[in-house]
Amino acid sequence: MASANNELLEIPLFPLNLVLFPGMPLPLHIFEERYKAMIGDCMRYNTPFGVPLIRAGQEVGSPADPQRIGTTTRVLRSQLLEEGRMNIITKGDRRFEIIEVTQQEPHVAALVRLLDEPVGEGFTGVSSELTEEFSKLMRNLISLTGGYTSQVEIPEDPVELSYTIAANLDAPIPVRQELLEVPTAADRLNRLVPLLKRRNHALEEEIARQNPFKGPRLN
């Protein structure tokens, strides 16, 4: 796994039953005492925390065993509620690799290494097939909510594009973790093409079920 440098950072971890990708928004409701204190410190000192997928254990209660690769995030906005509970908005920032778990109580903390985001050797550009399938995905998702768009904004940076697609793709959690762990954007984009096609097919079937009448409207 390529690393940005050899410097290790110690950060608190918030293991969850989800995969957070760089650039992906993540709203959270904070109600456990251990996470009230942890998030409070992160907000006070403007420091990141890590969100790894839970490998074993539960989100609530005893410490969970995290996957080795996760994503850092920071609190962008917060709303303080009764009894110290909080609603926060965060956004995925950098992938990291856990080198050593340094703390289990009251919350998990670890020494981590931030990872590089190489495009990949031999990358010749984003294929027209990929952009077409991603545009179709976004139109299908918007259509399901009753909206409409004729144009989809596609990130030019292949790393950003790979994470944008992965974040919007409703793939099983193990597949999402595999996509997060892929070392290069080129490899991730190649893996996304067949996943996009299958997802679009499923969405189009769902849209057809919700809108069975496709003929001209008669008054």
pLDDT tens by residue, 73-103: 999 999 999 988 999 999 999 999 999 999 9
Determine the residue type at 109: A
Specify the pLDDT at position 64.
73
Judge contact between 107 and 32, C-beta under 8 A. Answer: no
In order of 2, 139, 140, 173, the CA distances from 92 in angstroms are 19, 24, 24, 17
Domain span(s) for CATH 2.30.130.40 in the chain: 9-114
Q: What CATH code is assigned to 128-210?
A: 1.20.58.1480
Judge contact between 146 and 49, C-beta under 8 A. Answer: no
Phi, psi at residue 204, to the nearest 5°? -65, -35
| Residue the block writes with tokens 């969405």 | 203
Longest CA pairwise span in the chain (Å): 69
Specify the pLDDT at position 55.
87
Specify the pLDDT at position 150.
64
What is the C-alpha to C-alpha distance for residues 130 and 136, in angstroms, rounded to an integer? 10
Judge contact between 113 and 99, C-beta under 8 A. Answer: yes
Phi, psi at residue 170, to the nearest 5°? -80, 65
Which segments in the chain show pLDDT lower than 50? 1-3, 215-219
The 8-class DSSP code of residue 146 comes to: T
Q: Name the H helices within 28-100.
A: 33-45
What is the C-alpha to C-alpha distance for residues 20 and 14, in angstroms, rounded to an integer? 11
Q: Which two tokens stand for residue 208?
A: 């057809």
Determine the residue type at 91: K
CA 62-7-17 angle, to 5 degrees, is 30
CA 17-182-160 angle, to 5 degrees, is 85
Phi, psi at residue 114, to the nearest 5°? -70, 145
CATH architecture of 9-114: Roll (2.30)
Judge contact between 134 and 158, C-beta under 8 A. Answer: no
Judge contact between 13 and 45, C-beta under 8 A. Answer: no
Specify the pLDDT at position 73.
97
Rg of the chain taking only CA atoms, in angstroms: 20
Domain span(s) for CATH 1.20.58.1480 in the chain: 128-210
